[in-house]
Chain A
């Protein structure tokens, strides 16, 4: 492993707290622990899926990793360079190698700019000396690559549908051939039929350009389809991370099981026992002691409140943050179970 190139992205103990309200002297007493000690790395060409319900901090991870937010603590290494504390101007050379695709295709494109200027903006910023003809050519190429007509540049964003606008956003992100793409729920605002097209587009360009992608989503079916590895987040912490196949066949964390159970099955005749999580995700201002998930976990023991379970390796490349190793968890829908483990016994109802 030592001879391999450094991972494209390495995140070590990332913490991001947002202070809320400010006291008399600008001092705030409370803070939102949006991200509370997250570590992972993404190898070159890999797609890492990041899942979790709303409020789990996955978007904050994406934004902090790109240094659109400054982390409270921890380290971010991009292509082996520590970018944790760089200033805006020091970050500029890295910006062209890391890009972002947004969730909302309506707010992510400037309504007053023509599409050719939107897509060409990265060129105008990073290669101001480029001849106009070459820039036009590259913009048209980028539009063609994402499956839009070459002359789309003459029009304004509001003239396109949601799926097309997402393609424009992807064309802009890929303009400078970045190394890393953070896709923050890139399809969750789209119709299901369009989602498939955009996912396919992302996988195509990834194969073509050798992109590394951090794919943030809450839709497990999409994440499972796109990702090589999946990391599951809950309340600002990683609770489980494994390669996609292993995670879906053999989840080891009760939260992962609950997420699997909540995903709709595309077959209305199937009746299954759903694990319904009661209540909302606890407040990240004042998280529960010990394991943050224990308040909603049906397997919780008194010991779970005592201390925060560390993320530990339970199999090669499979990490989880749960005290209990004795659980039999239900895999993804009807995925075949890992033969190494005994067959499922009926899980007790809560």
Chain B
């Protein structure tokens, strides 16, 4: 018996290492996901420390240096129609866009997880009411809901974040509800019930940790969508208000100079594309890596 357990203990440790290792390997082998991860890290780093390294302030006007082209002279990425440094503005806008994306994701995931867990755990009347509510909210076309709300409340970072979160939590709720419902039937949930565990214990200690993988994937994809939504709304003028820069409102200002100064539109457009597709790639990679079924392939 002791020899048997000793062997199993040894075997067990290799097993643990190898399952984690395999997941990690599946992820690191996913080229697009690694590309996404690197780009995101670079973007975050640049937006966090970059503005203090650029010798210009984002609000500093310079009427004698308007429409300077990129890669020529003191302004690395050129200047805009008011002579403000494009690099400084892009990075400051990145701060705002990324922050909004991240915060909206946190709120959406929290709300979605709680609603989904409660609906999946209790089922019956509570579950039905909650999920029908989710379906009802899903019925609204996101963009119009977003624009209506943005027109009604005064735009700002906090309100935009909340509004985006409001349109994004439903899919987390649906994913989590499905997971929790399936997990509830498992024997370890019955065991917790037989122990006399309170509902909170079963929901948050037993079931939820087993549903983390799909939540992480959904979270990543929500960040991508939140950044995109923020750009939409700002582009249409209901989002972040100038002079505060966001990638969306930079794009909006740039459209009238599209022929004369195309970099004004290209640069923020490129940033949005880069950030959104990186988060999407990351989400895809995580989904593939965390899905145990892909073990076979």
Residues of A at the B interface (CB closer than 8 Å) are 63, 66, 68, 91-96, 98-100, 102, 104, 107-113, 121-122, 125-126, 147-149, 152, 155-156, 158-161, 164, 169, 172, 197
Q: Which residues of B contact A104 (CB under 8 A)?
A: 187
Q: How far is the CA of A94 from the CA of B195 in the complex (A)?
A: 9
Of B187, B191, B196, the contact of A92 (CB 8 Å cutoff): B196
A121 near B16 with CB under 8 A, answer no
Known: A156-B16, A158-B19. A95 touches B195 (CB 8 A): yes
Residue in B194, B197, B209 whose beta carbon sits within 8 Å of that of A66 in the complex? B194
Contact A91 B196, beta carbon cutoff 8 Å: yes
Which B176-213 residues have C-beta < 8 A from chain A? 186-188, 190-198, 201, 205-206, 209-210, 212
**Given known A-B contacts A147-B1, A161-B8, A96 and B191 have beta carbons under 8 A apart:** no
Bound-state CA distance A60–B289 (Å) is: 39
On whether A111 and B195 interact (CB within 8 A), knowing A159-B13, A159-B16, A164-B5, the answer reads no
Taking CB atoms, residues of chain B closer than 8 Å to A91 are 196
Q: Is the CB of B15 within 8 A of A158?
A: yes
Check if A108 sits within 8 Å of B188, measured CB to CB. Answer: yes
Q: Which residue of A lies closest to B199 (CB)?
A: A88
B187-A160 in contact (CB<8A): no
B12 at the binding interface (Cβ < 8 Å): yes
Instruction: Report yes or no: A96 in contact with B196, Cβ–Cβ below 8 A.
Output: yes
Q: A107-B186, A125-B198, A159-B15 are in contact. Are A172 and B5 (CB under 8 A)?
A: no
A68 to B185, CA, bound (A): 12
* Whole-angstrom CA separation of A96 from B12 in the bound complex: 31
Once the chains are docked, how many angstroms separate the CA of A330 from the CA of B67? 103
- How long is the Cα–Cα vector from A96 to B197 in the complex, in angstroms? 10
Contact mask B4-15 → A, CB, 8 Å, 1/0? 010011011101
Q: A102-B191, A109-B188, A125-B201 are in contact. Are A159 and B196 (CB under 8 A)?
A: no
Given contact pairs A66-B194, A68-B194, A112 touches B8 in the complex (Cβ within 8 A)? no
Beta-carbon nearest neighbor of B14 in chain A: A159
A-chain residues with CB within 8 Å of residue B19 when the two chains form the complex:
158
Q: How large is the interface on B (under 10, 10 to 19, 20 to 34, 35 or more residues)?
A: 20 to 34
Q: How far is the CA of A95 from the CA of B190 in the complex (A)?
A: 12
- Asked if A107 contacts B187 (CB within 8 A), the reply is yes
Residue in contact with A110 in the complex, picked from B13, B15, B206, CB distance below 8 Å: B206
Interface centre among B8, B13, B188, B193 (most CB of A within 10 A): B188
Given the contacts A104-B187, A159-B15, A159-B16, A110 and B198 also touching, CB distance less than 8 Å: no
Are B196 and A95 touching (Cβ within 8 A)? yes
In the docked arrangement, what's the CA distance between A149 and B10, Å? 13
The CA of A197 and the CA of B195, in the complex, are separated in Å by 25
Q: Is A125 a contact partner of B187 (Cβ separation < 8 A)?
A: no
Residues of B close to A102: CB separation below 8 A: 187, 190-191
> Residues of A contacting B205 with CB < 8 Å?
113
Q: Would you mind naming 22 contact pairs between A and B with Cβ atoms under 8 Å apart?
A: A68-B193, A95-B194, A98-B194, A100-B191, A102-B190, A108-B191, A109-B191, A111-B188, A113-B205, A122-B195, A125-B201, A149-B5, A152-B9, A155-B9, A155-B16, A156-B16, A158-B15, A159-B12, A159-B15, A159-B16, A161-B8, A164-B5
Q: A155 touching B194 by the CB < 8 A rule?
A: no
| B201 CB contacts on chain A under 8 angstroms | 125
- Report Cα–Cα, A63/B209, bound state, in Å: 26
Q: Which of B99-143 contact A (CB under 8 A)?
A: none
Beyond A110-B210, A149-B9, A161-B8, whether A126 also contacts B196 by CB under 8 A is: yes
Report the minimal beta-carbon distance from A86 to chain B, rounded to whole angstroms. Answer: 12
* Bound-complex Cα distance A96 to B194 (A): 8
- When chains A and B are docked, how far (Å) is the Cα of A172 from the Cα of B5? 19
Interface residues of B in 204-235 (CB under 8 A from A): 205-206, 209-210, 212
Asked whether B5 lies within 8 Å of A148 as measured between CB atoms, the reply is yes
Cα distance, A104 to B190, chains bound together (Å): 12
Kindly report which residue of chain A lies nearest to residue B201, judged by CB atoms.
A125
Name the A residues within 8 Å of B188 (CB-CB).
107-111
| Chain A residues with CB below 8 A from B190, complex form | 63, 68, 100, 102, 108
- Judge whether B9 and A159 touch: CB under 8 Å: yes
Using Cβ atoms and an 8 Å threshold, which residues of chain A touch B13? Answer: 155, 159
- Contact, CB under 8 Å: B16 / A158: yes
Could you tell me the distance in whole angstroms from the C-beta of A128 to the nearest C-beta in chain B? 10
The interface residues of chain A lying within 8 Å CB-to-CB of B186 are 107
